[in-house]
Structure 1
Amino acid sequence: MPHQPRIIAGVEVTPLCDAIGPMGETIRRPLAEMFPGAALREEPWILHFHCYLLKDQAGRLTLVDTGIGPADSPASSWAPVPGTLPGELAAAGVTPADVDTVILTHLHSDHASGAVADGRPLFENARYVLQQAEFDAAEGAMLDQIIIPIKDRLHVVDGQAEVSPGVHVHLAAGHTPGHQIARVGELAITGDLVLHPAQLADPSVRYLYDDDQEWAAATRAEVLDALRAERAVLATAHLSDPFVQL
C-alpha cells in the first residue's frame, strides 16, 4: 500500500514503494566497497525503490520516476522485478492513463524501466520529462527498450524548467550526465543524489556506481547545502523512510 501522502505547497505528495530488496548477484558488493570511506558494516544493502505521485489542486497528476518495471525490464538482471508501481497507483485510485506528466530523474534501469510495458508507453497520455544531457547519453537497453518507445511523448529540457504548475526540475548531474531532481515548494525529490544515509551525514562519501564520483559528490554537497539552508524536506528514492527533514 502507498505511504501516507503529505500536502506540500498545496500539492498532495504520495510515496509509492515499487520494490524492496538487495541488489542482485550480478552487481552486489559489500557496503564498504560501494560507499568507500563511510565506515559501513559488512552487511547486505536493502534498497527501497520509491516513486512519487504529485496531485495539484486542479487534479493534475505528475509521477516522478517509474521504478524497475516488468519481469523482462532492463532492471531484471539485478533488481527485484517485477515492480509493483501499477498496483501502488491503483491503491491510490490512479490508473496509468490518468497521469499527465512523468519526470524521469535519470535513465538508470531502476528509475525508468517502468515507463514502458509491452513495448509501449505505459503512461499513454503523459509527457515524459528528461534532461537533454541524459537523452544525449542514452544507450543500450535503456535507449532501445525505453527511450525509443516513448520518443514521441518525450519533453526534453535543459537545466531548470517548470514542467507542471508549481513543479520544477533542476539539473543535478554527476550520478549520470543528466540526472535531475524535482522541486515542489520546500520538497526536493532527489532521485539518486543521495543513496545511503551516510551521504546525508557526509556528502563527500562516494558511490561506486556514480558515473562520475567526483562530480556527483560535488553536486551532492552543493545541493544539500542549499536545501539545508531552506530546511527542505527530501523525498528519497532508496532510503527506508521516503521523507527526510533536513
Structure 2
Amino acid sequence: MHEKPRIVSGVEVVPLCDAVGPMGESLRRPLDETFPGTRPALWERTRAEAPEAFGPDGEWVLHFHCYLLRVPVGPTVLVDTGLGPDGSPASSWAPTPGCLPGALEEIGVEPGSVDTVVLTHLHSDHASGAVVDGEPLFPNARHVVQEDELKWLESEGGGVLDEVVNPLREADCLDAVQGQASLSDDLVVVPTPGHTPGHQSVVLGDDELMVTGDVVLHPVQLRDPAVKYLYDEDADAAATTRAALLKRLRTSGGVLAAPHLPVPFVQV
C-alpha cells in the first residue's frame, strides 16, 4: 500500500509500503546481537519513543518501504524495488512477499512510466522486485547502481546476481555509475558505503531530503549513530557514514527517508 506523500522542494515523495514484519528465523537474532554493543538503557529509551519498531516479544519489526519521487517537468524516480514476489531471492527470509506492484497501482503509476530506478544496494530486500518472471518490471527505466556494488556482488555471487542483475543487463536496463551522479537538476545519487561497499543514497536539493537505504536501519541508530549492525559489510565505515549523513540532515533541517524505520519520514 502507499502512505501519505510529502512535497519536498516541489517534488512529490510517495512512500510505498512493500511489507511489514520480522526477519525470518534464518537471520533473526536478539536485538543486542543484531546491534552489538548497545546498552540496556538505550533500548529502554528507544522502545519508549518508537514502540512500533518492536513486536510483542520484543523482536525487531521491519518496515520495507520503497519511495517514488515525482519531479515536476522531470523524471519519475523509484528508489528500491523491495522484496519481490514469492520465489524471489528475498523469499527465504522475508516476512511476506512484497506488494510493490499493487502499491504503484493504487497511485495510478504504471511500471512502464517509471523513468529511473535507483537501487540503493543489491541486498535482496531492496532489489528483488526489479525483475519478475525473468523480465524487468520497469522496462523503460534505467536502473542505477554503483560500480563498486556490482563488483562486490559479482565476487559474492548468489540469487540477486543471477535473478536480478543479469536479467537487467541482458535487457540493457542497468546503468552502473561511479560516485555522485545526477538524476535531474535537483536530484543526485551519492555514495554512502559501509552497509555494502557500493551503497548509495538519493539526495534532493541542498539536503532537503535523503532516501538512505540501509544507512539507518533501526530507530536505535538515530539515538546513537555509532550503534553497529551485525549484517553490515564494514560496520566501522557504516557508522562513519551514518554519523556524517545525520549531521548533514540536522544542519540542513532536512528529512530522512529510511526504508526500514517504522515511519517513512523522520525529521532528525
TM-score (norm 2): 0.89
Which is worse superposed, 153-162 or 34-43? 34-43
Match of 2:244 among 194, 200, 222: 222
Find the aligned partners of 2:74 and 2:188 in 1 and give their Cα distance.
17
Counterpart of 2:82 in 1: which secondary structure? Answer: coil
Match of 2:226 among 187, 195, 204: 204
The offset of 1:222, in angstroms, is: 1.6
Match of 2:109 among 94, 101, 118: 94
Name the CA shift for 1:168/1:105 in 2 (closer, same or farther; >3 Å). Answer: same
Partner of 1:147: 165
Find the aligned partners of 1:184 and 1:111 in 2 and give their Cα distance.
20
Partner of 1:164: 184
Structure 2 gap ranges (5+): 45-56
Which is worse superposed, 221-230 or 177-186? 221-230
Partner of 1:114: 129
1:123 aligns with 2:138: yes
Q: Percent identity?
A: 59
The answer on whether the counterparts of 2:74 and 2:184 sit within 8 Å (CA) in structure 1 is no
Counterpart of 1:25 in 2: which secondary structure? Answer: coil
Counterpart of 1:163 in 2: which secondary structure? Answer: strand
TM-score (norm 1): 0.97
The offset of 1:81, in angstroms, is: 3.2
The offset of 1:87, in angstroms, is: 0.4
The answer on whether the counterparts of 2:228 and 2:236 sit within 8 Å (CA) in structure 1 is yes
Counterpart of 1:134 in 2: which secondary structure? Answer: helix
The offset of 1:59, in angstroms, is: 5.8
The offset of 1:4, in angstroms, is: 1.1
Find the aligned partners of 1:111 and 1:171 in 2 and give their Cα distance.
16
The answer on whether the counterparts of 1:109 and 1:142 sit within 8 Å (CA) in structure 2 is yes
Partner of 1:33: 33
The answer on whether the counterparts of 1:194 and 1:200 sit within 8 Å (CA) in structure 2 is yes
The answer on whether the counterparts of 1:128 and 1:153 sit within 8 Å (CA) in structure 2 is yes
1:216-235 superposed Cα distances (whole Å, 9 cap, x missing partner): 11111122112211111001
1:180-236 superposed Cα distances (whole Å, 9 cap, x missing partner): 010113000010000011111111000000011111111111221122111110011
Q: How many residues align?
A: 246
The answer on whether the counterparts of 1:69 and 1:81 sit within 8 Å (CA) in structure 2 is no
1:60 aligns with 2:75: yes
Counterpart of 2:3 in 1: which secondary structure? Answer: coil
1:136-192 superposed Cα distances (whole Å, 9 cap, x missing partner): 111211111110000111111111111234221000000000000101130000100
Which is worse superposed, 54-63 or 101-110? 54-63
Partner of 1:194: 216
The answer on whether the counterparts of 1:235 and 1:244 sit within 8 Å (CA) in structure 2 is yes
The offset of 1:43, in angstroms, is: 1.5
1:10 aligns with 2:17: no
